[in-house]
Structure 1
Amino acid sequence: MPSESVITEHIEITPGVCGGKPRISGHRIRVQDIVIWHERMGLSPDEILLHYPTITLADVYAALAYYHDHRDEIQQQIHAGEEFAAQLQAKTRSILQRKLTENA
C-alpha cells in the first residue's frame, strides 16, 4: 500500500471545490474522473496525460491508489453522478425533440 504522505502530496479534498470530492492537488480533476477514464474508457495513465498535460504521471497513479484504498466511496460517487445525469437527461428534451414537437 502506498505511503499516505505520498497520496496526500497528490490528492486533496477541499470543501466547496468539486463538491468536496477527492481531486488531484491544484486541479479540478477528481479521482473519480481518473477512474472513469482508466477503467471504463480504457485509457492508460500515459494516454490520460496526453489529454491533461498539466497533471503528472505520479498524480494519475496516486489517484488510482487512492481509489483502490477507497473503492466503495468512489464507486458510490460515480454511481450518484450517473443517476443525476440520467435524471437530468430524462427531464430535458433535446433541441431536435423540441423542434419536432413545435413543428407538429
Structure 2
Amino acid sequence: MSTATEHLYIVKDERILGGEPIIKGTRTPVRAVVELWRMGVAAEEITNHLPHLTQAQVFDALSYYSDHQAEINYYIERNRIPEELIDARVREK
C-alpha cells in the first residue's frame, strides 16, 4: 500500500523498492532524479533522461531531497556499485 508524504508527487510503498521514496505512479526512485542532478544535469533537462516524468515531478523530487538529504543519500550509497566491480566489468570488455 502506498503511503503519501508531505510532497505531492512522492510516495513510499513497501512493495516497490522496499519502501524507498519514489515518484507517484512510477517505480522511479527519488534518488534517480537526484543522481542525475548531482552529475550536473540541469533540473529542467532531467525529463530528457527520464521522459516518463513531468517537470513538476522532477522539481518535487529535488524538493523532497532538500528536505530529506540524509535519507536519500543513504539510498544512493546503498545502491552504489563498488569501484572494484566497475573496474572488473571494464577489464572484461
Place the TM-score, normalised by the shorter chain, in its bin. 0.7 to 0.9
Higher helix share: 1
Aligned to 1:59: 57
CA RMSD of aligned residues (A): 2.4
Aligned to 1:70: 68
Deviation at 1:70, TM superposition (A): 0.7
Q: Once the two structures are superposed, what CA deviation does each residue of 1:42-99 show, in whole Å capped at 9, x if it has no partner?
A: 11122111122221111011101111111111111111212xx218828xx54964xx
Distance 2:51 2:65 in 1: 21
Deviation at 1:19, TM superposition (A): 2.5
Aligned to 2:3: none
Aligned length: 88
Deviation at 1:37, TM superposition (A): 0.3
Moved over 6 A (4+): none
Letter in 2 for 1:66: Y
Aligned to 2:26: 27
Normalising by the residue count of structure 2, what TM-score does the alignment of the two structures yield?
A: 0.79
Distance 2:90 2:36 in 1: 28
Return the index of the structure with the highest Cα Rg: 1
Letter in 2 for 1:53: P
Q: Once the two structures are superposed, what CA deviation does each residue of 1:7-46 show, in whole Å capped at 9, x if it has no partner?
A: 1x2011000202310011111111111110001x111122
Where does the alignment leave 5 or more consecutive residues of structure 1 unmatched?
Answer: 98-104
1:45 to 33, 43, 61: 43
Normalising by the residue count of structure 1, what TM-score does the alignment of the two structures yield?
A: 0.71
Where does the alignment leave 5 or more consecutive residues of structure 2 unmatched?
Answer: 1-5
